[in-house]
Amino acid sequence: MSDTNIQSVVQQMRTLAQSGRAGGGEAASGMPLVDGTAPPNELNFAATLKDSIRAVNALGKASGELQTRFELGDPDVSLPQVMVAGGKAGLAFEAASQIRNRLLTAYQEVMRMSV
């Protein structure tokens, strides 16, 4: 997967995280801010990662469901729909795998640093 594709996925994750934060008024930990104002532009990494994994899982489940419906002869499901859903699920999984690999590499690099 190229760097531009990975950057695109990361940008989509940031956009999703910001849209999920649109309500405002809560800190990254879920606790309300003391003064009642919106938190600064902080991303809750754990929540973003969890949402991204859930989205990848949802794409996989939807793809599997379409495939099963097609195999059972559902007239509302066509082969191109199944192939596109499978492609989306595969691409999302590959992107998640690449992000995991990059995070692991970064973690290992940080652990090798001397203090």
pLDDT per residue over 86-107, tens digit each? Answer: 999 999 999 999 999 999 999 9
111 vs 24, higher pLDDT? 111
For the chain, give every domain's residue range.
1-9+48-115
User: Rounded to whole angstroms, what are the CA distances from 97 to 6, 11, 82, 108?
Assistant: 11, 16, 22, 16
Q: pTM for the full model?
A: 0.59
pLDDT tens digits, residue range 33-63? 555 555 556 678 888 889 999 999 999 999 9
Q: Report how far residue 70's alpha carbon sits from residue 76's, in angstroms, rounded to the nearest whole number.
A: 8
Residue type, 75: P
* Average pLDDT of the residues of the chain: 81
Average pLDDT for residues 74-80, to the nearest whole number?
93
Q: pLDDT-derived band of residue 25, with 50, 70 and 90 as boundaries?
A: very low
Q: Report how far residue 76's alpha carbon sits from residue 86's, in angstroms, rounded to the nearest whole number.
A: 17
Q: Report how far residue 25's alpha carbon sits from residue 40's, in angstroms, rounded to the nearest whole number.
A: 10
